[in-house]
Amino acid sequence: MTAIAPGFAAEAHGVVKRFGPIEVLHGVDIAIPVGDARAIVGRNGAGKSTLVSLLTGIHSPNAGEIRLAGQPAPAQGDRRAWRERVACVYQRWMVIPHLTVAENLLLNNQPARAGLVSWRSVRDRAMAALADWELDVSPDLEAWRLTVEQRQIVEIARALLQGSRFIILDEPTAELERKEVNRLFDRIRALQDAGVTFLYISHHLEEIYEICRTVTVMRDGDVVADAPLDELPRDALVAAMVGPGVATGRRQSRPVSDAPVKTGLEIRDLALGDDIEGFNLSVAAGECVGLAGLAGSGKDRIAEAVAGLAVPKAGTISIFGQPAPLGSVAAMRAAGVGYVARDRHVRGLFPQMSVGENLVTTILERLGRLGLISSAKQAATVNDQIRTLGIVATSGEQRISELSGGNQQKAMVGRALASSPRVLVLDAPTQGVDVASKEALYGIIDAAKARGMAVLLVSDDLDELSICDRVAVIFRGRITRSFARDWKEHDMVAAIEGLY
Amino acid sequence: MSSVSQNTAPMRRSSFASRMKLRDLVLIPVIGLVMIIGSFVSPSFLLPENLLNVLQQSSELSILVIAQSLILICGKFDLSLESTVGLAPMLAAWLMISDTSIGGSGIGINGYAGIGVALLTGLVVGLINGLLVVKLRLNAFITTLAMLILLRGMTLGITNGQTLFDLPEPFLYLGTAKWAGVPASIWIAGVLFLLFGLFMRYHRTGRAIYAIGGNAEAARVAGIPVERITIGVFVVGSLLAALAGLLLTGRIASVMAGQGQNMIFYVFAAAVIGGISLNGGQGRMIGALTGVLLLGLLQNVLTLSSVAAFWIDACYGAIILLALIVTRLTGDAPQN
């Protein structure tokens, strides 16, 4: 691109971004004209968030140029200049919980003389903004009392009060109810009519067709498509996101026998949080069922309910026909549930402890009496586990943080298996793991199935889902589609993203 | 817009009451109760001399509470404030005393320079704490705990544990002078409360401190210079601690090696009872002030009462616990 046309709210030219040795953006070009409503879509890891962090000045590119409103982007530390040009409503809360709504609306932007804040003007301006937005809350309310919807409106209104005419919305609807989404969209449309430019990031493709005019598709750190939405039908959009990969679930592993099988895990009429109601799912002994969905779809919370971490409002969970006591991890484990939480770094590993100690945390009571742990018994159990799981470690004494991600993850699965469960719940078990370890983990899952365990695999990773005997897709708390073994990636992605 | 202006009037009227939330005023009836009890315990309790005495004895504590409140609202901790209370005047005293036989340095700088040294000491300590916590991202609790031990040890080491007397008059002035019949330290503490209360309420930097303590990431995104302000808060806090040390030295006309020892517990107690959240972003100077006053009056009442001297601390601790429970039950949000 040689000449830079005026009239663009934001442009990136040949932008490269590396984090350490890993290049996440390989020369991205994007140009968003003033008044556009642009969607950026892509699977996890496509580089959407990185691009947003460059467009909002949180990070600066290693190569290439960012321009805002036709001007080169401000210096990275100059937050004020950035804020005037671009505002971002993040998924995380960006209000200050114990300050009032009025002050949050005018955060670091209070009308002031010689540094002294005029609270009268703060309130007046806040009330005018609240009236404009028809938001029925007192400006004196502390922000932590706001609902998710109100909080988002406060953040958007704040962006506009800072003078920005270009707003980035990062998955704004992830936590909203449908009618709240509609109200948000009405407001976005009104702002679009008033000339505000939007960049909209969402996994919910149906929303993009509702609210956006153009779309940029990213895949593996590149822009792979850039088109008006009315020229890009849904099939083509999903195809661009998925890429020219192979189709269908590849791993036609062991055939399921025709013999009648027992039901291993049965979830009945489960109600959880505000959005999951009457949820049913069953997994037979020796079967692996995938539960696929976006972050926030409810898939992780269902796994937590089976593990005893989340307390359901209603419903039953039965393990091989026996209703299990809900809401207690110890009771669920005693009932026969083994659980591997997603994100081992946050919810799994004890990084300072040895491989062995990490493996036996769930079964300490079996290793000795009166709470005392027999080190001989522990060593025997640990060595046994390391051998059967194929964990590559110098010994059970090695610190687990020294292991590769794949071997750490094997240890996490090993911990779940240590209590000899009959139902195994795995949440994103191969996340951040190399290909060889992935295969090894799949082997461990296959072995568990062969021993008659019921396996529930919660994931949004197509590769993981491909080892499942069947896959249920959950969208906003409801199962919207089920797949037998031979699904196509394209259909699976469309279902996960909410395009049925 | 017309609907807005209609709404404005009634909301304005209630805005003072809503600003002065229950939480900030909850201690006032408690203070009243303590004063009534005090008047029964001892006829001398309500005498002006006694009440002024309580205020003067609370003045150093209250300056430390201002300092700690600033730091707590910003979402940090500073345990080393109490050792700065000792070190800053000790270092100055050592430099001022020319007689080495009574523990002086032999340098003999004058009293005004001594005040400068004391304040400078506070500034340097605060800067080091701030840099360690903000730039090196050390945990504030453990960093300032280590600093507390280090500074306390330095205070002892400078004079081999001796108490330093014979300090020049200008150095003692602020702790001894009376302005309009009221000790200067009370005026100073009162004016500082007023200034910092107004600053936190009306100055943009004060509001930025609340924002940082409430959600540092959101503050950063909003363009607030989080690191600079946090370091500044540590510096101002330590400066105030040095000033408190100066007042204390003036009042007792000497610097003891253990000066300020154990004050930090009462500083935290007063701040938290007064509604300053340990989690940051919450609380007001007016509340902190009521916390200090309550503790000062309680201590006085206990001293005047017939409680055996060795049991006063236990009573004091029990009452602080009680106050925490009461304020938690009347306040709107839990401490964590």
Which residue from B minimizes the CA distance to A135?
B4
| Tally of structural domains, chain B | 1
- Chain B contact for A93, CB < 8 A? yes
User: By a Cβ cutoff of 8 Å, what residues of chain B touch chain A?
Assistant: 1, 3-4, 7-8, 11-12, 15, 18-19, 201-205, 207-208, 210-211, 214-215, 217-224, 277, 281-282, 333
Relative to beta strand A63-68, strand A71-72 is: antiparallel
CA-closest candidate to residue A251, choices A446, A407, A417, A423: A446
Are A8-95+146-242 and A263-496 equal in CATH topology?
yes
**Residue B162 to residue B104: CA distance in whole angstroms:** 10
**Residue B290 to residue B28: CA distance in whole angstroms:** 7
Q: According to CATH, what is the number of the domain A8-95+146-242? A: 3.40.50.300
What is the full per-residue pLDDT of chain B (336 aa) written as tens digits? 333 333 333 444 444 444 555 667 778 888 899 899 999 988 889 999 999 999 999 999 999 999 999 999 999 999 999 999 999 999 999 999 988 888 888 888 899 999 999 999 999 999 999 999 999 999 999 999 999 999 999 999 988 888 898 889 999 999 889 999 899 999 999 999 999 999 999 999 999 999 999 989 888 888 889 999 999 999 999 999 999 999 999 999 999 988 999 899 999 999 988 889 888 988 999 999 999 999 999 889 988 887 887 888 888 888 888 877 876 776 545 444
8 Å CB contact of B221 and A90: yes
**Residue A105 to residue A125: CA distance in whole angstroms:** 9
CB nearest B203 (choices: A80, A83, A116)? A116
- Chain B contact for A59, CB < 8 A? no
Relative to beta strand A63-68, strand A37-41 is: unpaired
What pLDDT shows up at residue A3?
40
Chain A residue numbers touching B72 (CB-CB < 8 A):
none
Residue B243 domain flag: yes
Q: Which CATH number fits domain A263-496: 3.40.50.1100, 3.40.50.1820, 3.20.20.140, 3.40.50.300?
A: 3.40.50.300
8 Å CB contact of B207 and A110: yes
Q: Are A217 and A226 in contact (CB under 8 A)?
A: yes
Compute how many other C-beta atoms are within 10 angstroms of the C-beta atom of residue B177: 13
Q: Which domain holds residue B222?
A: 20-330
Radius of gyration of chain A measured on its C-alpha atoms: 25
Which residue from A minimizes the CA distance to B9?
A124
8 Å CB contact of B218 and A107: yes
Q: How many angstroms separate the CA of residue B93 from the nearest CA in chain A?
A: 38
Q: Are A437 and A407 in contact (CB under 8 A)?
A: yes
Residue B6 domain flag: no
CA-closest candidate to residue B299, choices B312, B285, B280: B312
8 Å CB contact of B18 and A128: no
CB nearest B211 (choices: A90, A107, A128)? A107
**Residue A445 to residue A468: CA distance in whole angstroms:** 10
Adjacent-strand bridge partners of A71: A68
CATH assignment at residue B260: 1.10.3470
What are the residue boundaries of the structural domains of chain A, listed by start? 8-95+146-242, 263-496
Torsion of CA A371, A377, A380, A383, to 10 degrees: 20
CA-closest candidate to residue B270, choices B332, B235, B316: B316
Residue B55 domain flag: yes
DSSP letters, B161-228, are TPPB----HHHHHHHH-EETTEEHHHHHHHHHHHHHHHHHHHBHHHHHHHHHHH-HHHHHHTT--HHH
Among A83, A106, A107, the strongest candidate for a mutation testing the B interface, having the largest count of B CBs within 10 A, is A107
CA-to-CA dists, residue A295 to A3, A288, B175, angstroms: 40, 21, 62
Nearest-5° angle of CA A114, CA A118, CA A120?
A: 165
CB nearest B214 (choices: A98, A112, A124)? A98
ipTM of the complex: 0.80
Structure token digits, residue A383: 């060595």
CB nearest B282 (choices: A98, A139, A140)? A98
- Chain B contact for A131, CB < 8 A? yes
What pLDDT shows up at residue A257?
53
- Chain B contact for A71, CB < 8 A? no
Tell me the per-residue pLDDT of A306-315, one tens digit each, with 9 for 90 and over: 998 888 998 9
Relative to beta strand A454-459, strand A423-427 is: parallel
What pLDDT shows up at residue A394?
83
Tell me the per-residue pLDDT of A87-132, one tens digit each, with 9 for 90 and over: 888 877 788 988 999 999 999 888 888 889 999 999 999 999 999 8
8 Å CB contact of B219 and A96: yes
Chain A residue numbers touching B210 (CB-CB < 8 A):
96, 98-99
Chain B residue numbers touching A97 (CB-CB < 8 A):
214-215, 281
Residues of chain A with pLDDT under 70: 1-6, 44, 174-175, 178, 244-260, 500
Residue B279 domain flag: yes
Report the 3 state secondary structure along chain A.
CCCCCCCEEEEEEEEEEEECCEEEEEEEEEEEECCCEEEEECCCCCCHHHHHHHHCCCCCCCEEEEEECCEECCCCCCHHHHHHHCEEECCCCCCCCCCEHHHHHCCCCCCEECCEECHHHHHHHHHHHHHHCCCCCCCCCEHHHCCHHHHHHHHHHHHHHCCCCEEEEECCCCCCCHHHHHHHHHHHHHHHHCCCEEEEECCCHHHHHHHCCEEEEEECCEEEEEEEHHHCCHHHHHHHHHCCCCCCCCCCCCCCCCCCCCEEEEEEEEEECCCEEEEEEEEECCCEEEEECCCCCCHHHHHHHHHCCCCCCEEEEEECCEECCCCCHHHHHHHCEEEECCCHHHHCCCCCCEHHHHHHCCCHHHHCCCCCCCHHHHHHHHHHHHHHHCCCCCCCCCEHHHCCHHHHHHHHHHHHHHCCCCEEEEECCCCCCCHHHHHHHHHHHHHHHHCCCEEEEEECCHHHHCCCCEEEEEECCEEEEEECCCCCHHHHHHHHCCCC
